[in-house]
Structure 1
Amino acid sequence: MPLSPNPLDDQNRRIVELVAGGQAASRSELAKILDVAVSTVSLRVQALIDADVLREDGHGNSSGGRRPRRLRVNVAEARILAAELGGGHARIGLLDLTGKLHASETIPINIAAGPEETLKKVAAGCRALAGDTEIRAIGMALPGPVRLQTGSVDQPSRMPGWQGYRVRERLTELLGVPAVVDNDANLMALGEHHRRLSPAEDSITVKAGTAIGSGIIVQGAIHRGATAAAGDITHTQIDPTLNEPCSCGNRGCLETVASGASLVRQMGELGQSVPDAAAVLALARDGDPTATTLIRTAGTHLGQALSGVVNFFNPHAVFLTGSLSASEPFIAAVRSRVYEACHPLATQTLLIEAAASGQDAALYGAARIALDAVDLTA
C-alpha cells in the first residue's frame, strides 16, 4: 500500500527540491529558506544522506565560521517510474529523484481490453525500461476520473470494464513498489506547471486531443474540488441548440464541438472523410479551408469556455497540450477569444501558449505525485 504523506515527508521532499534546484547547498541555507532551526534541518538532511538521497560533496564558502559541507542530490541510484495511459498506447518513463527524465518510450495497448490485461502489459514495459535500477515508486496518469481514496477509476466514459477497478493496489502488486494514480489532465497540469512556473503561482492546463480535459493548479498543487471533478470543462455547454449528444446526456457540450473526435465527425458531415484528428491537422497545415475553419472554430469554442474560468480564477497562465495544441490557428483562436471575453485585469499578465513539456507532461506530474507518496528516508 502507498505510504500516506506526512509533514516529515513533505519537508524531506522540499529539502530535496531546494538542493536539486540549486537554491540551497548547505544546512544553513536550507534552514534560512525553510525558516527552521539548523539543528532541525540537520536531522532531516542526515536521514536523507543515510537513505542515499543526498550526499555531501566538498565544502562551500565560509561566512565567518567553519566552511559548510556542500550538499547534492544523489541521482545515481534510485528512480521513479511514471506512466500515462491512452486509448491505444501507454507512455512510460524513468525519472530520478530530482524529476529529470532519463528514459521514456511508448508501447501499444488497448485500454478497452480491460484493466488486468492493460496493467500487466504496462508493468512489463516498466520493468524492461527500469532494468536493474532501484525503483522507489510509480505514478500513473489515467484517462478518466479517479477516486483518490481507493486509487480506483470512477465513472469513466472511454474505459470499458475499468469502473471501480483498484488500479493503485494492482500496480503495487505487479511492481512491488508504492503506487499513486490520478487523472491524466491533473498530472499534465502538475508536470507543466512545475517546469514553467514557481510553486506560488496558479495555472490551468487544457488537454485538447481526441477528448478535452483540464487540470487546475493552485499555488503549485492540484486543485481537485469536492468530488475530484474540478477542471472538467468537457461538459461546459457551448450551444444547447446543437443536435450532437454528449456522453453526459446533454447536447452542445464543449467536447462535441471542440475535441479532435468532433473535428473528425464534422469533416465527415461536410463530405471529407478522415481517420483521425491528426489527419485534420495535416489538412490544415496544407491549407485546406474546411479543416482550417473547423480548427479555428474549435479554438474559439474552447476560448469561450475558458473565458469564464479565467475571469473567475485569474490564473498566471493557461497551457495547452494534446494534439490540437500543435496547431497555431487553434492556439490563436483560443487566445483571441479569451482576451476578447475576459476583463482586462484578468488577462493583464496572462500567458496563453502551448505546453513546453510535450508528450511527457503527464510523466513529470506522475513522478511528482509518486515522490510525494513515499518516505524518501525509508
Structure 2
Amino acid sequence: MTAAEEQPGSAAHVLELVANGSAASRADLVRELGLAASTVSARVQELVEAGLLSESGEGASRGGRRPRLLRVADRQTVALAADLGSHHVRTGAVGLTGGGFDIDESAFDLTAGPGPALDMLTERLTALAERQRAAGRTVRGVGIGFPGPVDADGGRIIAPSRMPGWHLFALRDRLADRLGLPVLLDNDANVLALGEHRAAHPALRHLVVVKAGRGIGSGVISGGRLYRGARGSAGDISHVRVDSTAELPCSCGNIGCLETVASGAAIAAALRGQGIAADSTTDILRLVENGEPHATTLVRQAGRDIGAVLAVVVNFFNPEAVILGGALSGAEPLVAAVRGMLYERCLPMATRDLVIDAATCGPDAGLLGAGHAALRASAAADGLLPAADGPLPAPRA
C-alpha cells in the first residue's frame, strides 16, 4: 500500500471504517476522518455505485436530520476460500465484512502430490461456487492458503517440506484455468494473520500471528497491512535454530531448527517414541487435556522454544500483539510458556503493553483471511479499490 492509498478519505479507508464498525453513516465518517462532507459523500457514492456499500434506514439523530445507515454489501458478493493443511482441507465462502459461511472441513493428504490436490480443489470449489450462485451471490474470486513457502507474485509453491512433487507447481494458474475465476495464493500463516487481524484486532497496526499446528509459521502485520519482506519469506520462524534441539536434523537440510522440537509433528513423533499413541495435533491436545505428563511436558517445552524465538522478534519488531493460532494454541501450557518466555527475555518497554494471547477466530481464521485477501485483490484488479492489505498480487483471471 502506497502513502497515497493510506490517506484518510480513500475508498479503502472509508470501506474499512464501515466494515469494522467505526462509522455507520456519512456524518460518522466526517467526524472520524476530519474531512469535508462533500469529500466523504463522493467516496461513499463511489463505493455505493461499485456495489461495495449500501445505504438505507435511519440512525439516531444528534440534533439534525436522522442519518441514513451505511452497511457493507456483504452477502451478495463473496470469494471462495480454501485453507489447506498437510492432512486436511477447509473450504467456505467469505463476504465483504469478513463473515464466513457454507464452511466444510475434511481429511486430505497433500503429500500425495499436486495432481490429486488440484482435482480435489476443483471439485469442491466448483460445487461451492454453484451453491453461492444459486443463492443469488456473485463470486468474485478464490483465495488459497497453502502450508508451505509460496511465491505469491508467481502463484507457485516453493520447496515445501515433506511434500514431494510440489516444488514450483503453479497452483494459482492451474486452479484459475479450471475454475474460470481469479485465484490468489498465499502461505497459510499469512492468511491466518490477515483473518485474525481483520476479525479480532482491526484497531492494531503491528502484530505477529503464529500458526502452531503440525508445522510452525507466522504472519506479520506491519502498519495495518501484511508484510512479506523482499521475497515473501517474512515471518518464517520454523527454521530458526534453538538451543534445546540437540542437533536434530530438519527437513530443510539444516540441524537444530525450531520445527524439529516445537511443531505438532515433532511432538507427536516424540510421544510415539515413548510408546504413547499420537498421530495428530488433535491427539496431542487430548493427551494434554487428560493430564498425560509426557505430553504436557513436551507441549510446555515447545512453548518455551517458540517463546525464545519470538522474544528476538518482539525486541526487534516491537509489535502491539503476539497472537498464537493453529491447533496447538488450544493447549494452555503452550500459550502460558510462550507468554512466560516473552516476559522473561524481552525488554520491559517491548512487553509493557504487549498483548499475548491465543487467537479468537479458531479454525476459520485462515479461511477468512484467504477470502478477504481474494476480495480485495479482485476489487483492486477491477480498479475499485487499492490492494490495502499489502503487496498482494493481482489475481489471474
Q: Same fold (TM over 0.5)?
A: yes
User: Could you tell me which of 228, 233, 248 is aligned with 2:232?
Assistant: 228
1:275 Cα deviation from its structure 2 partner? 2.6
1:241 Cα deviation from its structure 2 partner? 7.0
User: Could you tell me which of 138, 144, 150 is aligned with 2:142?
Assistant: 138
Residue 285 of structure 2 corresponds to 281
* Contact 2:83–2:144, Cα closer than 8 Å, also in 1: yes
Residue 267 of structure 1 corresponds to 271
- Closer, same or farther: CA 13–160 of 1 in aligned 2, 3 Å: farther
Please state if 1:161 is matched with 2:165.
yes
- Closer, same or farther: CA 108–324 of 1 in aligned 2, 3 Å: closer
Structure 2 matches for 1:44-123, cutoff 5 A?
Answer: 44-59=43-58, 69-123=68-122
- Closer, same or farther: CA 342–168 of 1 in aligned 2, 3 Å: same
* Contact 2:245–2:260, Cα closer than 8 Å, also in 1: no
1:149 Cα deviation from its structure 2 partner? 1.6
Gaps of 5+ in 2: 385-397
Supply the distance in 2 between the matched residues of 1:107 and 1:27 (Cα, whole angstroms): 44
Give CA deviations for 1:160-202 in whole Å, capped at 9, x if unaligned.
Answer: 2222222222232222222211100111112112222234421
Question: Which shifted more, 362-371 or 46-55?
Answer: 46-55
Question: Which shifted more, 315-324 or 113-122?
Answer: 113-122
Supply the distance in 2 between the matched residues of 1:60 and 1:290 (Cα, whole angstroms): 57
Residue 187 of structure 1 corresponds to 191
Supply the distance in 2 between the matched residues of 1:89 and 1:74 (Cα, whole angstroms): 31
Residue 247 of structure 1 corresponds to 251
User: Could you tell me which of 315, 318, 323 is aligned with 1:319?
Assistant: 323
1:66 Cα deviation from its structure 2 partner? 6.6
Question: Which shifted more, 96-105 or 128-137?
Answer: 128-137
1:367 Cα deviation from its structure 2 partner? 1.7
Supply the distance in 2 between the matched residues of 1:241 and 1:112 (Cα, whole angstroms): 25
1:61 Cα deviation from its structure 2 partner? 6.2
- Closer, same or farther: CA 351–122 of 1 in aligned 2, 3 Å: same
Question: Which shifted more, 149-158 or 234-243?
Answer: 234-243
- Closer, same or farther: CA 237–68 of 1 in aligned 2, 3 Å: same
SS of the residue 1:234 aligns to: coil
Supply the distance in 2 between the matched residues of 1:25 and 1:281 (Cα, whole angstroms): 42
User: Could you tell me which of 192, 196, 202 is aligned with 2:200?
Assistant: 196
User: Could you tell me which of 207, 217, 220 is aligned with 1:216?
Assistant: 220
Tell me the TM-score normalised to structure 2 length.
Answer: 0.85
Give CA deviations for 1:99-157 in whole Å, capped at 9, x if unaligned.
Answer: 11122111333312332431332232223234123201211111111112211112222
Gaps of 5+ in 1: 1-5
- Closer, same or farther: CA 330–63 of 1 in aligned 2, 3 Å: closer
Please state if 1:13 is matched with 2:12.
yes
Supply the distance in 1 between the matched residues of 2:55 and 2:275 (Cα, whole angstroms): 67
User: Could you tell me which of 295, 298, 302 is aligned with 1:291?
Assistant: 295
Give CA deviations for 1:230-271 in whole Å, capped at 9, x if unaligned.
Answer: 111111111387142012222111111111111122223334
Question: Which shifted more, 78-87 or 65-74?
Answer: 65-74
Structure 2 matches for 1:3-42, cutoff 5 A?
Answer: 7=5, 11-31=10-30, 33-34=32-33, 37-42=36-41
- Counterpart of 1:89 in structure 2: which amino acid? H
- Closer, same or farther: CA 77–280 of 1 in aligned 2, 3 Å: closer
* Contact 2:329–2:335, Cα closer than 8 Å, also in 1: yes
Tell me the TM-score normalised to structure 1 length.
Answer: 0.89
The total of aligned residue pairs comes to: 372
* Contact 2:329–2:358, Cα closer than 8 Å, also in 1: yes
* Contact 2:245–2:257, Cα closer than 8 Å, also in 1: no
- Closer, same or farther: CA 135–211 of 1 in aligned 2, 3 Å: same
- Closer, same or farther: CA 22–303 of 1 in aligned 2, 3 Å: closer
Supply the distance in 2 between the matched residues of 1:221 and 1:85 (Cα, whole angstroms): 22
Supply the distance in 2 between the matched residues of 1:202 and 1:31 (Cα, whole angstroms): 26
- Closer, same or farther: CA 192–267 of 1 in aligned 2, 3 Å: same
Residue 124 of structure 1 corresponds to 123
Supply the distance in 2 between the matched residues of 1:97 and 1:198 (Cα, whole angstroms): 15
Supply the distance in 1 between the matched residues of 2:56 and 2:11 (Cα, whole angstroms): 19
Supply the distance in 1 between the matched residues of 2:39 and 2:156 (Cα, whole angstroms): 38
- Closer, same or farther: CA 351–367 of 1 in aligned 2, 3 Å: same
Supply the distance in 1 between the matched residues of 2:214 and 2:337 (Cα, whole angstroms): 18
Supply the distance in 1 between the matched residues of 2:62 and 2:293 (Cα, whole angstroms): 66
% of aligned pairs identical?
Answer: 46
RMSD: 2.6
Supply the distance in 2 between the matched residues of 1:359 and 1:84 (Cα, whole angstroms): 9
Supply the distance in 1 between the matched residues of 2:75 and 2:198 (Cα, whole angstroms): 23
- Closer, same or farther: CA 117–342 of 1 in aligned 2, 3 Å: same
* Contact 1:217–1:223, Cα closer than 8 Å, also in 2: yes
